[in-house]
Amino acid sequence: MEADNTSVPMKILVALLFIFLLAPVILVVPLSFSGEQILSFPPESWSLRWYAALADNPKMISAFWTSLLLGAIVTAISLAVAIPAAYVIVRMRTLGSSFLYNLFTAPLLLPTIVLGLAILIVFASIGFLGTFPGLIIGHLVITLPYALRVLATTLGNLNLACEEAASTLGARPITVFRRVTLPMMAPGIVAATALCFLVSFDEVVITLFLTGPRLTTLPVELFHHVESRADPLVASVSVLLILLTLAVVMIVDRSVGLSKTFVK
């Protein structure tokens, strides 16, 4: 319900501030249908020429596929690595769990510009720059903390008694994990998947340090494009990016919504 004890001037102010907040994102939609040669708003003519230009731009398209593949691989590895780690940290509280948790989520505290430079210098010496494995590790450094955080929280909120019940019923630890713990973690796993994918797919700064002339991701390609010239091509890519993000969010909403229906 709307807050009704708010005065009209306050409502107008809030509306204006919301416009300020959302303007640049909303703006790219009309911009992408511009018929102009250069970036101008509002455009004087409308067309689909920049979507056509995008289809004819092999660099953007290959960068898109690189980002997609990278995001998928990074997400898969993040889950495979973070699920067991979260399990050990939350469930086998022995080895200085909170220290390890803080250590493994610490990369989130560093600015990406510093982290990117730090990784650049080390990767340069081992020949990882401009390589796909280098990009994967660079992205894992920031997706793993997110995954660990979400999964550890999920695991911590589960009813431990369910796992105990399974073991009293004769299930070995590995069976308990597979048949009870993992299915109960489903909403957290979906959330972690989406988060890892979006973080990897959107990452610019660290990636900027690690990409090379032959290997680049979509956000980095966009960055270089905006840096060098101002045309509406980026708007058409942006619209597609926003649609992709929207799709991921909706998938999460539906599946977490769905899983909520069977987890309590």
Partner 1 sequence: MMHQTILSGSPTVSDDRDVHLRLDGLTKTYGNSVAVSALDLSVPKGELVALLGPSGCGKTTTLRMVAGLIQPTGGRIVVGSNDITAMPTYRRDMGLVFQSYALFPHMTVAKNVAFGLEMRSVPKAEIERRVKEALAMVRLEALAERKPRELSGGQQQRVALARALVIRPSILLLDEPLSNLDAKLRDEMRNEIRDIQQSLGITAVFVTHDQVEALSMCDKVVVMRAGKLEQVGTPIDVYEHPATPFVASFVGRTNRLEGRARGDGTVDVGPMSVRVPGRPGGNVEIMVRPHRIRLLDADAAQGASGEGTNLLSGRLTRVTFVGDLLQYQVDVGGTEIVVEAASDHGRGIRSVGSPVALAWRVEDTMVFGRSA
Partner 2 sequence: MTAITASAPPAAPRLALGRTGTAIALLLPIALINAIGFILPVLNLLRMSFNEALAGGGVRETVTFENWTGLFGDSFYVELILNSITVSLSITLATLVVSYPIALYLHRSTGRWRTFLTVLVISPLLTSAVVRTYGWIALLADQGPIVSGIAALGFAPPRLMFNTTGVIIGLTEILMPYMILSLLAGFGRLDPRVEEAAMSLGAPPIKTFWRVILPLTVPGIALGCLLCFVLAVSSFITPKLLGGGRVFLLATEIYDQAIVTLNWPLAATLSMLVLIIFGAALAVYARILRAID
Residues 164-183 that bind partner 1 (CB under 8 A): 164-173, 175, 179-180, 183
How many residues of this chain bind partner 1 (CB under 8 A)? 22
Q: Is 53 in the site for partner 2 (CB under 8 A)?
A: no
Tokens for 78, please give them.
């993040």
CB of 194 to partner 1, least distance (A): 20
How many residues of this chain bind partner 2 (CB under 8 A)? 78
Q: Pick the binder of partner 2 from 28, 151, 155, 191 (CB under 8 A).
A: 28
Q: Which of 174, 158, 133, 143 is nearest to 81 (CA)?
A: 143
Alpha helical stretches, state H, 169-232: 173-176, 182-184, 186-202, 205-210, 218-228
Q: Is 120 in the site for partner 2 (CB under 8 A)?
A: yes
Q: Are 139 and 207 in contact (CB under 8 A)?
A: yes
Q: Which of residues 114 and 182 has its CB atom nearest to partner 2 in the complex?
A: 114
| Helix (H/G/I), strand (E/B), else coil: 39 | coil
How far, rounded to the nearest angstrom, does the alpha carbon of residue 20 sit from its chain's CA centroid?
A: 24
The 132-171 contact track toward partner 2, x by CB under 8 A, reads -----xx-xx--x---x-----------------------
Q: Which of 53, 17, 20, 19 is nearest to 34 (CA)?
A: 53
Q: Which letter does DSSP use for residue 130 in this model?
A: T
Q: Is 94 in the site for partner 1 (CB under 8 A)?
A: no
- Provide the binding-site residues for partner 1, judged by CB under 8 A: 159, 161-162, 164-173, 175, 179-180, 183-184, 186, 262-264
